[in-house]
Amino acid sequence: MTERTNKSRSRAKLRAKIDARDEKNGVTYQFAPDIATLGTLPSFNGTIHAVKIGPQKRTGSYIAALLYKLPDSEITPNTKTILYSHGNAADIGAMSGMQSLLAKNLKCNVLVYDYSGYGESGGIPMEKNTYRDVKLVYEWLVKNVTKHEHNVILYGQSVGSGPSCYLASRRSNVGGLVLHSPFTSGMRVLTPSRALSCLDIFPNIDRIKKVKCPVFVIHGLKDQEVACEHGMALHAAVPDDCKFDPWWVKNKGHNDITDGPDIV
C-alpha cells in the first residue's frame, strides 16, 4: 500500500508540474470524443469548452472539466448552469452524451469535471480531495460563467452525491441540488450497522439536513447497487421547505435511469 501511495503521489506531482507549465505557456485544450467507443453523440448547438481549473491551493493540482455552453443568443440573466459530479465508474468523456442532452433540452449550461486522480485531472483520488475539487470548480464557475450562485444547480450522481451534498450544506445561496441514485453514506451502502461509523465516508444523510436550497431526489426502484431506500431516506431528511417531489423510477436500476428514448 505504501509503494502504491508513493507512486500515486509521484504521478500527481509530475502532473501538477506539467499542468502549471501549460498554464504559464497559455496552452488551451479541445474535447475530442472517442466516437468509436461512445458512438454518435446527441446534437448540441452550443459550444463545448475543455478547461483545466486550478491550481488547488493545498495540492497544486488542476481539475479537468468540460463546459457545455448555450449559444449567447439563448443565454439570459436567469440561465442556470448545472455543476455535474459524476459517478465512480465514469469520466467527463464517457458522460458527454448525457451532458449534451441536459444542456439542449433543459436550456442550461452544464459543467462536468473529473475528480482528483480521474481522467485528465491531477491529484490523488481521496474523499477530502473531492470536496476540494467541487469547491474549486464551483468558485471558478461562479466567477467565469454564472456570476451569481443562485444560477448554479448542483447535480450529484451516485458517488457524486457526496461532494454535491457537502457543498450544498455549506453554500446557502446555491440555486438547487439534484441527487441521482444517491447513498445516505458510503458505509451504509455496505451495512446499516453503525459499528464502523468512524470509518464512514460521504455522510450525506447528516449534511442533507443543513441544505437551504430546493432538493430533487431521483432513484431507480430496481437499483441493486444502492438500494432505493437510500434515496427515500435522503428525501425524508430534506428540510420541508426545500423538498421537491421525488422521482422513484420504475423498472430502472443504478446506471440506466437515463437510458431510453424518453429521457429528458
Kindly list the catalytic residues: 158, 223, 254
At 50 the three-state DSSP class reads strand
DSSP letter for each residue of 137-172: HHHHHIIIIISSGGGEEEEEEGGGHHHHHHHHTT-T
| Distance linking the first and last C-alpha atoms of the chain | 43
Per-residue buried b or exposed e for 183-215, using 16+ beta carbons within 10 Å of the residue's own CB: bbbbbbbeeeeeeeeeebebbbbebbeebebbb
- Kind plus residue range of the DSSP H or E element containing 205: helix 204-207
Residue 247 per-residue DSSP state:
E
CA pair distance 83, 103, nearest whole angstrom: 11
Any idea what the Cα angle at residue 192 is, between residues 240 and 254, rounded to 5°?
70
User: What backbone phi and psi angles, to 5 degrees, belong to 262?
Assistant: -95, 0
Cell numbers 440506466: residue: 256
